[in-house]
Amino acid sequence: MGQDIIKTEYSEEMQKSYIDYAMSVIIARALPDVRDGLKPVQRRTLYDMYELGIKYDKPYRKSARIVGDTMGKYHPHGDSSIYDALVVMSQDFKKGLPLVDGHGNFGNIEGDGAAAMRYTEARLAKATQTALLEDLDKDVVDFIPNFDETEKEPSILPCKFPNLLVNGTEGIAVGMATSIPPHNLGEVIDAFKAYLKDDTISTRSLMKYCKGPDFPTGGIVTNQEELLSIYETGIGKIKIRGKVDIEKGKNGKINVVISEIPYTMIGANIGKFLQDVASLAESKKTMDIVDISNQSSKAGIRIVIELKKDANAENFINLLYKKTKLEDTFGVNMLAIADGRPETMGLKRILKECADFQYEVTTRKYTNMLQKEQQKKEIQEGLIKACNVIDLIIEILRGSKDRAMAKACLVEGNTKGIKFKYKESRLMAEQLRFSEAQANAILEMRLYKLIGLEVDALIKEHEETMANIFRYEDILARRDSMTQVIINELDQIKKEFAVKRRTVLDNCEEAVVEEVKVAEMDIVFLMDRFGYAKTIDMATYERNLETISQEFRFVLKCKNTGKICLFTNLGVLHTIKSSALPMGKFRDKGVPIDNVSGFDSSNEDVIAVMSQSDLNLYRILFVTRMGMCKLVDGGEFDVAKKSVASTKLNQDDEIVSVTPIFNQKNVVFKTNDNYMLKFPIDEISIMKKASVGVRGMRLNSRDYVTDVYFTTVEGRTTIETDGKKIELDSIRCGKRDGKGAKIK
């Protein structure tokens, strides 16, 4: 069997494949369509519920049934993405207008997740059925094949209002992301109506109706003056604060009560906020906090911070705005799919796209309805005409041999083969010219329709049909009439589903905090061999000198306002603020050093501990297991980052010693095979921290440096190794990069 081999440039094929993949993610998964404000997974889930008949006035159905049906028919991308979409559409603290009515545990504002899909139930919300799905049976949108072409699904839902603005959205695609805040339904509808009446209206004028975002969590937008620019460009930052009240507490204390939170604090960030408030007290940034309690319930958010009697509550609130997520930023990027491609749109452009879509849907809807009314008119006119000559019709039916003969007579006036009582009847029958549809209706008409009242009802129904035809033709012919129809539907949606604005819009001054300055004092940093660290005051240290020297691996005198530097065997420098460590009693356990720094006790080992302020005074000597060494100016380690590389290491090498140099004269390397090399420190090069260094000692195969000692100009130095005492000053001084001598 012959095969065609197609030669192509690898880079071109990769570029094409990646672009195809990116567009698939952007269009078919991550971004919403501007017309109905839904991502494909949301649209497919709602349509599947509509198909299953899970309507707002019907019993709830298991979420697992909905998810399984949606995945099998329309969205073959895993059940978790479908269930997550279903959950979010039901959460009133995330959506301005929930589209799904959930029954069971669908998560909460504090970040607890929804129960498994086998436990929860759901059905369509009334608003969804009324405003997104109602006209699907009127051929208002195109239906496309599903992934395996066994089903049909709508390419878009006939949403009657700008859902993209009302519910907002967040999504990350390939190379782009969307973030649209939710808005108030009533305000969005008012702005939409204003645009429908005058499409030349400016964004500033539209914002008289849609004033800004309306988050389900309430809160305060503090930069109202910047909203115009955001809604014109579709890009910007909205600053939001939680709502804070001051109440009288017990015994004259002050309660700071948070009743509304920023939209960005939803979920785990509430727990983080409580931790941040607690850390303000631990780090002594405020001394006013007595107690913190989260009293939130189904009724709403209520976080109470109890302050001392003489506390400055206003200053404390400003501190919360500055140091916690109680004031946060919502990044706006109004990116959505328009005309099949992603575009960033302002408020007016979004309303324009929605308006164009509404005119298209309404045109298709009333065209379809007009056709049905015209068909009804044709049949009604035929039945009325038949009632006027009912005796002739009966004579034709009785004289015909079969249905086809009777139908031919009614449609074409063909009387061949039909027996008539009177000659006049045959002549009259030959004049009949009913249409095919009219003839079928006459042949299927039941006898009770000949009753006088039924005939009157038929005539009245025909009059209503003619009135509908006139109305539908007027709507389709005149844009003003169609606009009014759209506006009437919007008014009905607003009347039934709109709620009051929850978010306050204001121009607030930036929070200014008068921070309490901590009095500088000398403290002592202690860290035991298990990695637990703490600080104590100097008096406690002096009282327990002997015990401290026995029980703690690292002891460092420092300032409570300074920073502590941890050098590890992997060549990493971890910096900790002294204030981040608990200062307490001597027998307090302390905290794991991992909790207050980037140090990983499972992978690293602390080699040396120094005060950052002292580093600037010295040069630091690094010695590695493979005998490399260098001197680094201590000022290079005065960095803002919590964790940085303190040196560069060769493969499989690690640090064995980090020492500040001030009065040392010689350095002594000792290896695992008991070789020792002594040479002047002056022979070691001063280098940058990013360098590997120079070789300090030549090592035998498989030998490595284990210890580093020093001699000083002030006196003699004696060490003990393998049970032997060695006087370092008696060792002959050699040169750097020597092999040294073996200790006997």
Q: Which residues are catalytic?
A: 119
| Element housing 44 (H / E) | helix 40-51
Among 516, 528, 556, 207, CA closest to 351: 207
- CA dist., res. 586 & res. 420, Å (int): 122
Q: Tell me the C-alpha to C-alpha distance, in Å, between residue 507 and each of 238, 258, 510, 728.
A: 11, 20, 9, 72
- CA dist., res. 441 & res. 436, Å (int): 9
- CA dist., res. 618 & res. 285, Å (int): 31
Q: What share of the chain is helix, strand, coil (3-state, %, to 5)?
A: 40, 25, 35
Cβ-count burial 268-284 (b if 16+ within 10 Å, e if not) = ebbeebbeebeebeeee
Q: Is 664:618 a contact under the CB 8 Å cutoff? A: no
Cβ-count burial 204-220 (b if 16+ within 10 Å, e if not) = eebbebbbbbbbbbbbb
Q: Where are the alpha helices (DSSP H) in 346-399?
A: 347-388, 390-399
The letter for the amino acid at 251 is N
Q: Where are the alpha helices (DSSP H) in 243-332?
A: 268-282, 313-323
Dig out the tokens for 614 from the structure. Answer: 């002292």
- CA dist., res. 483 & res. 130, Å (int): 19
* HSE of 576, CA atoms in CB hemisphere, 13 A: 27
Q: Which residues contact 361 (CB under 8 A, 6 or more apart)?
A: 135, 140, 141, 158
- CA dist., res. 83 & res. 471, Å (int): 44
DSSP three-state, residue 306: strand
Q: What is the DSSP string of 130-195?
A: HHTSTTGGGT-S-EEE-TTSSSEEESS---SS-HHHHH-EEEE-SS-EEEE----HHHHHHHHHHH
- CA dist., res. 730 & res. 666, Å (int): 12
Among 337, 182, 318, 169, CA closest to 256: 318
Count other Cβ atoms within 10 Å, centred on residue 351: 27
Sign of CA pseudo-dihedral 641, 642, 647, 653? negative
Beta bridge partners of 291: 306
Q: What is the DSSP string of 527-589?
A: EETTSEEEEEEHHHHHHTHHHHHHHEEEEEEEETTSEEEEEETTSEEEEEEGGGS-B--TT--
